[in-house]
Amino acid sequence: MNEEPQINETLVLETIEASFALLELSLEKLAAIAPVTRPEQILELLPSAALHSAKLVVVELIKFDLSAAAEAGELRRLEFYWPVMGRALPQEQIPFDLVLEEVQLLRGAGENPRWEDYRQRFPDLAATIGKWLAGDQPEAFQGATSAVPELQINTLVDDFFVLKQLGQGAFARVYLARQESMQRLVALKATKRGSEEPQALSQLDHPNIVRVYDQREIAEPKTILLYMQYLAGGTLADCIKRLRTTDSKERSGQLVLESIDQNLLSASQSVPEQSPIRTQVSQLPWPELVAWIGIQLADGLGYATRKGIIHRDIKPANILLSAEAIPKLVDFNVSCSGLSGRAGAAAYFGGSLAYMSPEQLQVADPTVRKPATELDGRSDLYALGIVLWELWQGKRPWASQQVAGSWTEAVSIQRSVRNETFATVTPALSATERVLEKVLRRLLAIEPEDRPGSGSEVAGRLRLAFYPDLAQRFEPDPSSVAGRLFNASVLLIGGVLIFGPNTAASVFNYFYNQSRMQELQPLIPKIAEDFEFVAGLVNGIVFPLGGILFWMVMRPIVRIVHQARKGLPASPKDITTLLNIGNLATIVCGILWTVSGVVFATTFASMHSEFGGADAFHFFISLVLCGGVAWVYPYFGMTLLALLIYYPQAIAPTMNDPEFDQRCQRIRNHSRWYLLSAAAIPLTAVALLVLRAEIPRQTLVAGCCITGVGLLASFFAFQKLEQTMQQLSKVLGDHKRSVW
């Protein structure tokens, strides 16, 4: 929300911000007299001390007057203003965007500007002008020549009783008003340039977006009234001003509250006395406060983007603060009409140039034909990155000392500095600051493809600033154990975790049943030899079957991990498949052991009539129990692998999983059952062994030891799963950090 500019008119303009501030003041004066009858009237609006450094202001005032004259039916040429304007802007230094304004006004009036005419008048700009003459006319800035509507204080305007003026910009005034029909305080924005999509804006209902109720139009004075939620806590720009006069060691959440309280008292509003949120904010270290604000703003931008709305004008002045320090986005600039330098655009967008993304600066550059429709939500995220960097460090990443002489030059300067490297003023010493810096640097990537893809992802990554150790799960060091496992062969790791325990159980079962066959040899001739034959037959069936089932189960996991390595997001269905891999691995193992038991028992029964039902049942049970032991461990191994290694990478591109809590509950339910099985099945097997008096004592001891080790390993795996889910819930669960 634009504030009333202030400038010391006795000083030379040394910064681009000072130029835009003077421009707003001058445009307000010019709007009352435009179009001028004498070019000297434009120079008289400027302080004499600033004339030689106010080229940009002069250019924009001439644009404004040209447009006002065209609206009055008079098509002026730039020669009307020279040689008088030569005192501030020599004629040979007329910038392209000023010539372009004349061209577009002529075309808008139905005339056909001739390139030959402009080649003679402005030879240095002939080539660029020719490209524009051959293309479409850029959209004019709405309300470019209209005086700022002024409402009388303590009067009823439509449904609003105007209480006082809150601020003023080049094209709007903002008032505090009481809406009589609803008996509520509202911020009333009076402008000639209304929102192009008031219905879309009024549908934005998010805790971090200022609620726009609606807009109305009145005839006298002809004004569009946009009324919205009233917040008296000031803007983030106020906090940054206070920040710059505060030593970095003394910065904390209390600084924000002091800024808010000052604005509340100025607005005759009470300061909340008992507020849990304010108490928490006051205790936040500065980096965490920045992350906390960033989380909410990113959530708001993500919500708006999902609604199909892009802000396009993110800057500290457009972030309001509630009495409880909740940041809220305001002034969604749905349209970018006139951004490429048309009359009035500099005054409206000038303060936003320093926060624009490289692609939005291309839209703003008159020499580049880039339509605003190519912008997406990542442009807003870039601007948010600059805002948060400025809030964290006290200054923007780039600070150009050049004073532009025109809109074209101002945009060019900003485009060039975007390619420069930038460093922190206050080094990132803590783990929280390092996470914060990493997120902000990603937001400030030159190419949109290198930035986070959504506001939800940014919010999720900023939450990691509160839990820096957890950040390693989503971006592990390639040399770390997690990094190596993530980049290793999925089939190799899966094969080890699934077939490793089964191989061990299979060997144990083989020797156990081999000894059993040796015992039956005197009673059933050749049964020991037949056992070796049947074992080979079973292996010939089970191993190929196991390979097929393993590939069927692991193929989707390989695809999901491959996508994650490329930075592509996983679908909800893929995430479900990934986190269910432990159960699928168990099913594979269960099928293989059951097949083995059935084949062994039925084959022996058919080959030897002496091999009775009790022997067959005993044989089958031994396989099932060994398999029961073996299939528990693949569940824990594969579920740990999926949850600790693959899952964070699969959701890293979005940092969002709406079904996280439900998934965790399913994992908990399954894990409890498997933990119980890890104890019950081995103990059952040991009990059956004990019933056989001929079993050697060392076999019983080994069985008990293996049972104990397996149960302990399962218990630790169960605990690790629970710990990991609790950690991830801090950034993914329904109760993840946003506001208290």
Q: Which residues have CB under 8 Å from 498's CB, separation 6+?
A: 550, 585, 588, 589, 634, 637, 638
> Rounded to an integer, what distance in angstroms lies between the CA atom of residue 214 and that of residue 230?
13
Tell the burial category of 423 from Cβ atoms under 10 Å away from its Cβ (0-12, 13-18, 19+): exposed
* Structure tokens given for 495: 């094969």
Give me the residues of the chain with pLDDT under 50, please: 3-12, 140-145, 337-338, 341
How many degrees, rounded to 5, is the angle at CA 231 between CA 230 and CA 237? Answer: 130
CA distances (Å), origin 347, targets 22, 23, 143, 171, 389:
9, 6, 12, 8, 25
Note the pLDDT of residue 135.
61
The CA angle 640-642-647, to the nearest 5 degrees, is: 125
Q: How far apart are CA 358 and CA 413, in angstroms?
A: 11
Reported residue count of the chain is 740
Q: Using CA atoms of 505, 506, 507, 512 in order, give the dihedral in degrees to the nearest 10.
A: 90
Count of other CB atoms within 10 angstroms of residue 726: 11
Strand 172-179 and strand 160-168: the pairing is: antiparallel
Give the bridge partners for 216, in sequence order: 225
Q: Which of 314, 305, 273, 277 minimizes the C-alpha distance to 292?
A: 277
Phi, psi of 369 (to 5 degrees): -95, 80
Identify which of 291, 250, 239, 249 has the alpha carbon closest to the alpha carbon of residue 433. Answer: 291
Which tokens is 509 given? Answer: 């079962």
Contact between 634 and 497 (Cβ < 8 Å): yes
Burial class (CB in 10 A: 0-12, 13-18, 19+), 615: buried
Select from 39, 59, 31, 111 the least CA-distant residue to 341: 59
Whole-angstrom CA distances from 24 to 79, 104, 364, 734 are 25, 23, 19, 46
Helices vs. strands in the chain: H and E counts, helices first: 27, 8
**Cβ atoms within 10 Å of 577's Cβ, excluding its own:** 18
pLDDT of residue 338: 47
At 56, which amino acid appears? L
Q: Which residues pair with 188 in a beta bridge?
A: 175, 227
Considering only CA atoms, which of 381, 382, 376, 238 is closest in space to residue 316?
238
User: Residue 176: beta bridge partners?
Assistant: 164, 187
Burial of 37 (C-beta count, 10 Å sphere; 0-12/13-18/19+): exposed
CA nearest neighbour of 369 among 136, 528, 184: 136
* Residues 305 and 455: beta-carbon distance below 8 Å: yes
Confidence (pLDDT) at 155: 93
| pTM of the complete model beyond 0.75 | yes
Give the pair of three-digit tokens for residue 576: 């479900």
The pLDDT value given to residue 141: 47
Number of C-beta neighbours around residue 182 at 10 A: 11
Helix (H) or strand (E) holding 613: helix 613-640
The alpha-carbon radius of gyration of the chain (Å, integer) is: 36
Using CA atoms, how far apart are residues 653 and 568, in angstroms rounded to an integer?
Answer: 6
Beta-carbon contacts of 389 under 8 Å, excluding residues fewer than 6 positions away, are: 396, 397, 440, 444
In single-letter form, the type of residue at position 150 comes to E
Q: Which residues share a beta bridge with 229?
A: 186
Q: Measuring CA to CA, how many Å separate 176 from each of 208, 490, 560?
A: 20, 62, 54
Beta strands of 76-171 (E only): which ranges?
A: 156-157, 160-168
User: C-alpha dihedral over 434, 435, 437, 438, to 10 degrees?
Assistant: 110
Compute the distance between CA of residue 643 and CA of residue 650 in angstroms, rounded to an integer.
10
Residue 197 DSSP code:
-
Angle at 649 between CA 467 and CA 382, to 5 degrees: 70
What is the spatial distance between Cα 628 and Cα 635, in angstroms, rounded to a whole number?
A: 11
**Strand order, beta sheet including 212-219:** 156-157, 160-168, 172-179, 184-191, 222-229, 212-219
Alpha carbons 61 and 347: distance in angstroms, whole number: 10
User: Under the phi-then-psi rule, with left for phi > 0, alpha for psi from -120 to 50, and beta for the rest, what region is 331?
Assistant: left
d(CA 142, CA 344): 8
The two beta strands, 222-229 and 212-219, are: antiparallel
Contact predicate 575/653, CB 8 Å: no
Strand-pair partners of 327: 321
Beta bridge partners of 487: none
pLDDT in tens, 467-477: 988 888 888 88
Does 315 carry a binding-site annotation?
no
